[in-house]
Amino acid sequence: MPAGGGTTAIDANPREDSGSVSGRTGASAKSSSSAQVDLSGFQALRSVLRIRAFRRLWMVTGVASLGDWLGLLATATFASAQVSGDAAKGLAFGSVIAVRLLPALVLGPVAGVMADRFDRRYTMVICDLLRFVLFASIPIVALFSENAGITVGWAAIATFLIETITLLWIPAKEAAVPNLIPRSRLETANQLTLITTYGITPVLAGLGIAALDRILRTGNTTPPEWAEASNLALYFNALSRLAMALVVYFGIKEISGRAHDAKRAGQSMLRQFLEGWKYVGRTPLVRGLVLGILGAFAGGGIVIGTAQFFARSLNAGDAAFYLLFGTLFVGLGVGIGLGPAVVRDLSRRRWFGMSIVLAGASVLFLAVAIHLSMAVLGALLVGCGAGMAFLSGVTLLGGEVGDDVRGRVFAFVQTAVRVVLMLAIALSSSLVGLGGSWQVSGISVSSTRLLLLAAGVASIFTGISAFRQMDDKPGVPVLPDLWGSIRGRPLSAGEKPVGRGTFVVFEGGEGAGKSTQVGALADAIRAKHREVVVTREPGATEVGQRIRSLVLGKQSDLSPRAEALLYAADRADHVATVVRPALSRGAVVISDRYVDSSLAYQGAGRTLPVDEVSWLSSWATGGLRPDLVVLLDVPPEVGLGRAARRGAADRLESESVAFHERVRYAFLDLAAADPKRYLVLDATRSAEEITAAVLERVAGLFPEERPPDHEVAEALNTLAESEPPAGPEVPRERADQEAR
């Protein structure tokens, strides 16, 4: 069986390394039947990393992010090391951290205007060169200065300047990324970047600087001043910024240049600044995004500000505080990494609002936790909700906001987030100590819990408000839509939830024997007294029959795009009038062809852009996916020979062998991308063997109704009497070899 023979999926996009748009690679980027990008996690990452410009930017950004985290730790410890006394050390440490937040209050909005006004590539290069100089200057000044006040003062000034420059760099980089990759890959790219920036590099930085300090002090020896761990970390940070500047300048020329058009070229910075703020205020999507992100970070800030006092209310020590703090970041990584795989085809606008509601509800759970284990679970869920909201929000900003204002919107969001986070942490940590604590039925009720309750309620309210402003499926029930999306059956506007029916699709090239197997499966399921609806594409409805005569008639002279549109029209009517109503009744729907045929025939065979064909089919079906796809794989020369014996060939059967080869490999690639949903069978085997394998797999969809062996035998006998195997047999080894 050639299930493992499908080659790795490759997205045919001209910006990728593969470069060419071929049928062999085109359809393979799409998963089975979802009509959306639904690759397995590893394959999705590979697909994104094939894009040369993004791959280089991600690699150098990861190194620079490690340097930034090292720089954050090293700058603060460096400043505290220059003074003596616990109070002075604490003040120096906190002052350097506070200085990193101040530039956002002053220059944050202006940074967005500059990101949209000037060439983004040159903006990033110049900013990184300046940061290289400033990071390197901190330990150099300390090396040549004997005055601790001058050293700490310059560290604070340099940090302020670095953060000011960073405010210019971030919106330029964030606004440029969506121009490097296809829209369908933006979420995966953001996943990779966020996990690297907030999951991997912080841990590596903390472990690295601790290990470096331990190594340098091995044997009770004191390293020279220039070789202190904090100094080496700052040098590394400086060099990482130099590397970033060189890679962006010489290796990522695809980063877009000036974003504004000629009409805006003469506008003043003040006018562009006001335009950006007006855009945020008058655009429901952006307004909802900003409201939700700020609400989420305000709730997170309160959790961080009260965490230490909350740990004490649980009669736990500092270890519990560090555990909760670490669990929060673990949850953040889990939400970013696994969230899309869980919600699957759910609207990202809806996912954003629901993620914030999840985070708020988790804060409420955290507030009433009476045991450390409950608190850990609450912190994990808070992090998951925040991570999913962060990922979906950044993806929506990058994909939905116009390129001409994207820099200003990103700058506005990052500025507001820093301000809200700083205020939430400061106010919550100050207020938490004002109130006392009371014992109610043995449970400690303190101002900490009251603040967490308020934060949870506020986050839930914020999430609901953002959801209402951004909802792109008004009137569609939320929970059924979520459950349907998890099952691969998201709802469209005006549709009722799909019932507990089962959807099975047979796919394959010409002459694969799909009709024979559809009938055999239908008979076997009807024998179990279940309702079965047998259908096909195209032609299952009255409208579909007219379309079928157009797309398959040899006298028709259709362009590839017209053909794809007609198939989508048939599919939309088919799903709306046949498939969904049957599934809602709980019936078993067996279809001869579905979405994969468009991806294979129009995407690979006709070499149309697979993203467009995929989106078109997704829109037509509302994202409805089958529970099982049975792919009957047959070499084109065998299948076409069988089809020729049936009578006159239609338009598709009359295509060249090369066309059908592209179609065959596209089907195999789709199966390789989603093996759990597919059953790939060698269609050159006898019909009885294929039917037995299909019944065995379909039985897994009804574990409570697994057919006895004698019923399988009866179905096989009926099939053998009704239709003998068509065409010559091809040795199994040869078929496997060809598939591989």
Asked if pLDDT for residue 25 goes beyond 70, the answer is: no
520: amino acid identity, one letter: A
**Mean pLDDT along residues 41-66:** 80
Residues 6+ apart with CB under 8 A from 261: 404
What are the binding residues?
508-515
Q: pLDDT tens across 270-328, in order? A: 666 666 667 777 787 788 888 888 877 777 777 777 776 777 777 766 677 777 777 87
User: Is residue 472 exposed (0-12), middle (13-18) or buried (19+ Cβ within 10 Å)?
Assistant: exposed
Q: pLDDT tens across 373-382, in order? A: 888 898 888 8
Q: pLDDT tens across 88-104, in order? A: 554 554 455 556 656 66
CATH numbers and ranges of domains, the chain: 2-34+498-739 (3.40.50.300), 46-483 (1.20.1250.20)
| Cβ pair 228, 74 in contact under 8 A | no
User: What confidence score (pLDDT) does residue 152 get?
Assistant: 72
| Cβ pair 375, 405 in contact under 8 A | no
Q: Cα-Cα-Cα-Cα dihedral of 534, 538, 542, 547, to 10°? A: 180
DSSP 8-class letter at 38: -
Q: Which two tokens stand for residue 513?
A: 């024997």
Best mean pLDDT range from 28-42, 136-150, 215-229:
136-150
Q: Which residues pair with 679 in a beta bridge?
A: 630
Q: Which of 240-254, 359-373, 441-455, 660-674 has the lowest mean pLDDT?
A: 441-455
Q: CA-CA distances (angstroms) from residue 224 to 142, 212, 228, 633?
A: 13, 14, 7, 69
Q: Which of 59-63, 81-85, 386-390 has the lowest mean pLDDT?
A: 81-85
User: What confidence score (pLDDT) does residue 103 get?
Assistant: 67
**Mean pLDDT along residues 250-256:** 80
Regarding pTM above 0.75, the answer is: no
Q: Which two tokens stand for residue 355?
A: 């993620």
User: Is residue 606 exposed (0-12), middle (13-18) or buried (19+ Cβ within 10 Å)?
Assistant: buried
Q: Which of 233-242, 338-347, 412-421, 543-552 has the lowest mean pLDDT?
A: 412-421
User: What confidence score (pLDDT) does residue 709 get?
Assistant: 55
User: What confidence score (pLDDT) does residue 61 get?
Assistant: 84
Which of the two residues, 169 and 435, has the higher pLDDT score?
169
**Mean pLDDT along residues 357-363:** 90
User: What confidence score (pLDDT) does residue 518 get?
Assistant: 93
Q: How far apart are CA 190 and CA 394, in angstroms?
A: 7
Q: Which two tokens stand for residue 124?
A: 């990033």
**Mean pLDDT along residues 13-32:** 36
**Mean pLDDT along residues 126-141:** 90
418: amino acid identity, one letter: R
542 alpha-carbon distance from chain centroid: 39
The count of C-alpha atoms lying within 13 angstroms of the C-alpha of 468, restricted to the half-sphere facing its C-beta, is 5
Q: Which of 67-76, 236-245, 369-378 has the lowest mean pLDDT?
A: 67-76
Q: Which of 394, 424, 401, 421 is nearest to 170 (CA)?
A: 394
Ramachandran bin of 117, using left for φ above 0, alpha for ψ from -120 to 50, beta for the remaining angles: alpha
Sequential DSSP letters for 435-502: S-EEEETTEEEEHHHHHHHHHHHHHHHHHHHHHHHH-SSTTS-HHHHHHHHHTT-PPPTTPPPP-S-E
Sequential DSSP letters for 624-656: ---SEEEEEE--HHHHHHHHHHHSS--TTTTS-
| Cβ pair 696, 721 in contact under 8 A | no
% of the chain surpassing 90 pLDDT: 11
Confidence bin at 536 (pLDDT 50/70/90): very high
Q: How far apart are CA 492 and CA 100, in angstroms?
A: 46
Asked if pLDDT for residue 441 goes beyond 70, the answer is: no
Q: pLDDT tens across 190-202, in order? A: 888 888 887 778 7
User: What confidence score (pLDDT) does residue 149 get?
Assistant: 73
Q: Mapped to the 3 state alphabet, what secondary structure does 122-189 carry? A: HHHHHHHHHHHHHHHHHHHHHHHCCCHHHHHHHHHHHHHHHHHHHHHHHHHHHHHHHHCCCHHHHHHH
Which of the two residues, 243 and 727, has the higher pLDDT score?
243
Across 207-340, where does the E strand assignment appear?
Answer: none
Q: How far apart are CA 466 and CA 357, in angstroms?
A: 10
User: What confidence score (pLDDT) does residue 303 get?
Assistant: 76
Pairing state between β 588-592 and 532-536: parallel
Q: How far apart are CA 478 and CA 487, in angstroms?
A: 14
User: What confidence score (pLDDT) does residue 144 get?
Assistant: 79
Asked if pLDDT for residue 124 goes beyond 70, the answer is: yes
80 alpha-carbon distance from chain centroid: 40
Best mean pLDDT range from 70-84, 656-670, 701-715:
656-670
**Mean pLDDT along residues 427-443:** 60
Asked if pLDDT for residue 574 goes beyond 90, the answer is: yes
Q: How far apart are CA 488 and CA 47, in angstroms?
A: 22
Q: Which residues pair with 504 in a beta bridge?
A: 590, 628
Query: What number of other Cβ atoms are within 10 A of residue 128's Cβ?
Result: 24
**Mean pLDDT along residues 567-592:** 91
Confidence bin at 242 (pLDDT 50/70/90): very high
Confidence bin at 110 (pLDDT 50/70/90): low
Q: Which two tokens stand for residue 554?
A: 């040899």
What are the binding residues for ATP?
508-515
Which of the two residues, 162 and 45, has the higher pLDDT score?
162
333: amino acid identity, one letter: G
Q: How far apart are CA 55 and CA 58, in angstroms?
A: 5
Asked if pLDDT for residue 711 goes beyond 70, the answer is: no
Q: Mapped to the 3 state alphabet, what secondary structure does 44-74 carry? A: HHHHHHCCHHHHHHHHHHHHHHHHHHHHHHH
Cα-flanking dihedrals φ and ψ of residue 630, to 5°? -95, 110
Query: What number of other Cβ atoms are within 10 A of residue 42's Cβ?
Result: 9
Confidence bin at 728 (pLDDT 50/70/90): very low
User: What confidence score (pLDDT) does residue 160 get?
Assistant: 81
State the average pLDDT for the chain: 75
User: What confidence score (pLDDT) does residue 276 get?
Assistant: 65
557: amino acid identity, one letter: D
Q: Which of 130-134, 438-442, 576-580 has the lowest mean pLDDT?
A: 438-442
User: What confidence score (pLDDT) does residue 677 get?
Assistant: 85
Which of the two residues, 363 and 117, has the higher pLDDT score?
363
- List the strands of the sheet with 678-682, edge to edge: 532-536, 588-592, 502-508, 628-633, 678-682
**Mean pLDDT along residues 411-420:** 73
Q: pLDDT tens across 341-353, in order? A: 888 878 888 899 8
User: What confidence score (pLDDT) does residue 723 get?
Assistant: 47
Which of the two residues, 279 and 717, has the higher pLDDT score?
279
Which of the two residues, 561 and 495, has the higher pLDDT score?
561
Q: How far apart are CA 343 and CA 348, in angstroms?
A: 9
661: amino acid identity, one letter: E
User: What confidence score (pLDDT) does residue 466 get?
Assistant: 86
User: What confidence score (pLDDT) does residue 27 get?
Assistant: 36
735: amino acid identity, one letter: A
Element at 240 (helix H, strand E): helix 229-251
**Mean pLDDT along residues 181-209:** 78
User: What confidence score (pLDDT) does residue 38 get?
Assistant: 43
Total residue length of the chain: 740
DSSP 8-class letter at 22: -
260: amino acid identity, one letter: H
Cα-flanking dihedrals φ and ψ of residue 656, to 5°? -70, 165
User: What confidence score (pLDDT) does residue 257 get?
Assistant: 53
Confidence bin at 76 (pLDDT 50/70/90): low
Asked if pLDDT for residue 422 goes beyond 80, the answer is: no
Best mean pLDDT range from 177-181, 335-339, 475-479, 495-499:
335-339
User: What confidence score (pLDDT) does residue 3 get?
Assistant: 37
| Cβ pair 453, 367 in contact under 8 A | yes
Asked if pLDDT for residue 74 goes beyond 70, the answer is: no
User: What confidence score (pLDDT) does residue 693 get?
Assistant: 92
**Mean pLDDT along residues 353-368:** 89
Q: Which residues pair with 176 in a beta bridge?
A: none
| Cβ pair 412, 175 in contact under 8 A | no
**Mean pLDDT along residues 526-539:** 91
Element at 85 (helix H, strand E): none
User: What confidence score (pLDDT) does residue 86 get?
Assistant: 47
Q: pLDDT tens across 447-472, in order? A: 777 888 888 888 898 888 888 888 88
